Structure 1
């Protein structure tokens, strides 16, 4: 693994406040964070927030 532009951050997904999403194109359910969430399976941005 390589890094450029600064130190590597040691982040754990368990510590981050992730939200559950469902892709409306392929049906994949996944956890994500950020403003623009993209399905890791099909790369679609047609996702909905799950409760």
Structure 2
């Protein structure tokens, strides 16, 4: 099975526990999830948790 762009299962995105992060390179604040969080603005992995 091949998928492009979306999750493979029926995931309730609002129930996932996201954290707030700030990018130390561009200053963008965003919500993220996972072990290796990447800034959606500049694609940097130099981020800090705000929680």
| TM-score, normalised via structure 1 length | 0.79
Unmatched runs of 5 consecutive residues or more in structure 1: none
Aligned length: 48
Runs of 4+ in 1 over 3 A off after TM superposition: none
Give the superposed CA RMSD. 2.1
| TM-score, normalised via structure 2 length | 0.79
Structure with greater proportional helix content: 2
